[in-house]
Amino acid sequence: MRRVKVKVAVWNYLILVQGQPEYMTEHSGILYKLALFKQRYTRGTSWTQMLLNFGIISANAKLFEDFFLIHFGLTIPMVIAIAIPIYIVFCYILGHIDEKSGFWQIENNLGYRVTPLSDEMLQTIREIKKKLD
C-alpha cells in the first residue's frame, strides 16, 4: 500500500512540475484514442446484448412452443409479442430499483476509489469546500 502511495505522490509531483504528459492530454494521444475506442465498444456491446436478449426470448418461445400452445393457446408470434415488452418493463423496473436504492451510485463511486487522480481531485474539492465554509 505504501508503494502505491509513493508512486502516486511521485506521479502527481511530476505532473505538477512538468505538466501533463503528452500521451495523457484530453483530446489526443494513444491513451485518448484507446479510451474512446473502449467507451464506444462498451456502449455497442450494451446495445448488442439487448438485441441478443430479444433473440434469446424468441428462441425460448420456440423451445416451449408446445407448452404455450397447449396450456395457454398462444402461438409463437403471440408469445414473443407478450414476452419482449414484459422483458423491457422488467429490466426498466430493476434499473429503477437499482437507482433508487443507491447501489448504482455506490458502483460509480468505487471507480473513483481505484483511480488515484480522481481520489486526489475529490480530496482537493473537499479542502476547498471546507475553506469556503
Q: Is residue 28 part of a domain?
A: yes
Count of domains observed in the chain: 1
* pLDDT value of residue 64: 92
Q: Identify whether the C-beta of residue 57 lies closer than 8 Å to the C-beta of residue 87.
A: yes
pTM strictly above 0.75: no
**Is residue 128 a part of any domain in this protein?**
no
Q: How far is CA 67 from the centre of its chain?
A: 37
Residue 131 lies in a domain: no
Judge whether 96 lies within some domain: yes
Which residue is associated with the grid cell 512540475? 17
- The whole-angstrom separation of Cα 86 and Cα 78 is 13
Query: What percentage of the chain reaches a pLDDT higher than 90?
Result: 33
**pLDDT over 60 (residue 121):** yes
CA distances from 63 to 51, 55, 57, 60 (A): 19, 12, 10, 5
pLDDT of 94 strictly over 80: yes
Residue 43 lies in a domain: yes
Quick: pLDDT tens for 26-52: 667 788 888 888 888 988 998 899 899
Question: Does residue 54 belong to any structural domain of this protein?
Answer: yes
Does residue 47 fall inside a structural domain? yes
Q: What integer pLDDT is reported at residue 35 of this predicted model? A: 83
Q: What share of the chain is helix, strand, coil (3-state, %, to 5)?
A: 85, 0, 15
pLDDT digits (tens, 9 = 90+) for 45-66: 988 998 999 999 999 999 999 9
Say which residue the cell 448504482 belongs to.
Answer: 104
Mean pLDDT of 59-77: 92
Q: Which residues span the domain enclosing 26?
A: 2-101
Tell me, what's the pLDDT at 80? 92
pLDDT score recorded for residue 36: 83
